[in-house]
Structure 1
Amino acid sequence: MNFISQYILILLVTSILGGLFNHFKFPPVVGNLLAGILLGPAMLTLIKPNSFLELLAQLGVICLMFLAGLESNLSLLKKYLKLSLTIAGLGVILPILMLGIASLLFGIHLLEAIFIGIVFAATSVAISVAVLQDAGQLHSRLGSAILGAAVVDDVLAVLVLSIFSAVSHIDGNKNGLTDNWGINFLIEISYFGLVWLIYDIVPKLMNLVTRLSLPHSEVVFAFILTLVMSRIAEKVGLSEVVGAFFSGLAIGQTKNAKNIIKTIDTAGYTFFIPVFFVNIGLSVTFIGFIKEGWFILIMTILAVFSKYVAGQWAGKLFDFTKMESRSIGAGMVSRGEVALIVAQIGFMNHMLTQEIYSDLIIIVIMTTIISPIMLNHFLHKIV
């Protein structure tokens, strides 16, 4: 099956399953994830992961996080910065401890056990963003808390990985610009100086762009800025979603934001974002699932529990309601592409065996499917 045929099939199946799940009050994103499992190596084997779909998926997650930044309330993000730091801090420490200790009990050696904990330290907020948007909660204090925590969480997880890379002699070039974690950390921090600069000059640049007699010039400028910020973030060792999110925040303060949201939302959710979720599902295989069943089951429970508890505790500490606190915890559960990238770094640098790496992929996918279901359940109980 050629690339175009694969793309047609993905758009068709995601539309059907997404609509079906939405009809029964489930997040459409779950239908998209299951579409990937259905079409991929796990079941029908009609589509296999390939570079074409990876490119579309990359554009999809960039669009998704750019929209999240565009639609975010910056004042709420600032207001709940302490909460975000608390959630992220607990959300990095608990998975490393819980999954690291559990790995040791399964007979895995120390360095590999620690690395497994690090794999599950980072949160993939893209899944939660889709659910929050569907529930109309992206602009709320709850949505701001989850978004802020996920961004901080990503930075902390990258820092922990950088330190571990230096100590355990993993090739630092896989994770940053140099093999010195201290320098990498300074470079990553300096990236946020660039973010501050961009935030200050974007309105002026947008005014210049809108004067050009070119069709959709403001949308083109916004998307170019997003791609550039994403690429730089990736180069300095951060996730590309961080760059896309902050680009969205910067564009969101301009008078052109509503028009840009409408255009990117239509194009993103029609052509790119569904492929991102499908591509995650394509990573699933059930090879060795029965043999490693107990390991996968227990580690999945711990992966969910560690993030959920961290978010719930922090929510209660900052006077969120019981259901809001549970929603924060559920929103932090998904690992998605961030954990997949970290796991791949470990596998390529011989920190993880092929068997453990395959098991971790399944666990990541399980958290990615469980998270939106949990979050959707708690959001519907918020009055």
Structure 2
Amino acid sequence: MHEIGILCLILIATTTISHFFTRFKIPAVVGQLLIGILLGPALIGWIQPSEFISLFSEIGVIILMFTAGLESNLSLLKKYFKPSLMVAILGVVFPVAAIYLFSLLFHIGQSESIFIGVIFAATSVSISVAVLKELNGLTGKVGATILGAAVVDDVLAVVILSVMTSLGSNQAGTGLLLKSVEQIAYFIAIYFIVKFCAPFIAKLGLKLFVPMSETIVALILCFGMAYIADLVGLSSVVGAFFAGIAISQTRVKNLVKQSIESIGEAIFIPVFFVSIGLSISFNGLVGQIGFILILTILAILTKLLGAGMGAKLSGYTLPESYIVGAGMVSRGEMALIIAQIGFESKLIGSTYYASIITVIILTTIVAPFLLKHAFSIQKRSINPTQK
């Protein structure tokens, strides 16, 4: 029953801090991240990372991205695919190049320096999704661009990671080719799921004599696509996002959205944000403060400028470009996963591993503030009299 007590503590703490943060117009997710740092190993130590929290966290991020897919406009995603591609490419190139050069200055080896750049090429759009939902910016032009770019961004990061891990394990040939074929096949399958499978599943849910049957079959599709995405080397959130898009094209969309959001927001999503804060530790970091500060600034600026430039080159206004750039800053669980895989594959040593994890957490905390500021700039540009 210890885990139930921990869950109760998390819900009390996140609900309380979310209330006050929202009251003072600070994104609630920031408070939930800080709860993880405050109650976790970094400070008080009441909550420790565990399989229980990890499971709830994984379900939380999957539900969050599923609801993002439900709220997405497929026609807008198609319309803004080219800008999303431009945003994603520049949002990967800038961090990889700049952080690679920065790492070399600290006498880190070439392959390790490249991998550190790859870690910060990833984007955790789950944080941005939560803030965009708070600011009612998920369904517009910039929201569609951020979502589309984040998916492309993660695919690019995963492909680069696959290449590096394959080269590192001397399995570059057949293994890498097979993984690439599986991922391409997965994206082809998504078309058929959206076009044919999702409508059939929705109709099936309506016919079943089971309470909440529409939500149940939607969740089966969501978890199934997330699981298969993970099997082929993609992030599970990619599968969950496209499952949400698939269900959004059916008549059960609103019913499913209402049910899923209630489940997610009440328990799983707060645990996910807390779990990110639990990853941080201040042990042994005093001697690397300079490295952490400079890398944090680089991680924020390179993604902000790279993704923002991609939006500007695609014809977006400067305030819109700022929103897109800010929406891509958060690294969150995607960067944590890539860093962990790289550490286990010996692509990165233990010397700077804790510092890199700290920087990932710092960018994740800063991102919601940047995104909120970007929206306030856009509102002032539309209505100059608004303070």
**Bin for the TM-score computed over the shorter chain:** over 0.9
Alignment of 1:242-321 (within 5 A): 242-321=238-317
> C-alpha deviations, 1:105-142, integer Å up to 9, x for none?
00101111111111111100000000000000100011
Moved more, 89-98 or 51-60: 89-98
Mapping of residues 1-383 of structure 1, within 5 Å: 2-169=2-169, 180-201=175-196, 202-383=198-379
The CA deviation at 1:11 is 0.4
Superposed CA offset, 1:53-98 (max 9, x none): 0000000000000000000011110011011110111111111111
**Aligned counterparts of 1:123 and 1:2: Cα–Cα separation in 2:** 34
Residues 91, 310 of structure 2: 8 Å contact kept: no
> How many angstroms does 1:208 deviate by?
2.3
When normalised by structure 2's length, the TM-score is 0.95
Q: 1:170–1:349: 8 Å Cα contact kept in structure 2?
A: no
| Paired positions, count | 378
Check conservation: 1:171, 1:349, Cα contact below 8 A.
no
Measure, in 1, the Cα distance between the counterparts of 2:135 and 2:376: 8
**More displaced stretch, 202-211 vs 143-152:** 202-211
Q: Is the 8 A contact 2:60 2:272 kept in 1?
A: yes
Code of the residue aligned with 1:164 in structure 2: it is M
Counterpart CA distance in 2 for 1:179 and 1:217 is 43
> Counterpart of 1:291 in 2: which secondary structure?
helix
SS at match of 1:367: helix
User: 1:179–1:19: structure 2 CA closer, same or farther, 3 Å change rule?
Assistant: farther
Compared CA separation, residues 171 and 51, structure 1 to 2 (3 A): farther
Quick one: distance in 1 between partners of 2:167 and 2:291? 27
CA distance in 1, matches of 2:222, 2:233: 17
Query: Cα RMSD (Å) of the superposition?
Result: 1.3
1:133-163 Cα shifts (integer Å, max 9, x gaps): 0000100011000000000001111111122
Counterpart in 2 of 1:175? none
Asked whether the 8 Å contact 2:57–2:269 carries over to 1, the reply is yes
Residues 270, 291 of structure 1: CA spacing in aligned structure 2 closer, same or farther, 3 A cutoff? same
Q: Give structure 2 stretches of 5+ with no counterpart.
A: 380-387
Asked if 1 retains the 8 angstrom alpha-carbon contact of 2:67 and 2:260, the reply is yes
AA at the equivalent of 2:212: H
Normalised to the residue count of structure 1, the TM-score between the two structures is 0.96
* TM-superposed deviation, 1:371: 0.6
> How far apart are the structure 1 equivalents of 2:291 and 2:313?
33
- Residue 364 of structure 1 aligns to a residue whose secondary structure is helix
The amino acid across from 2:223 in the alignment is: L
Residue ranges of structure 1 left out of the alignment (5+ in a row):
173-177
State, as a whole percentage, how many aligned pairs show the same letter.
47
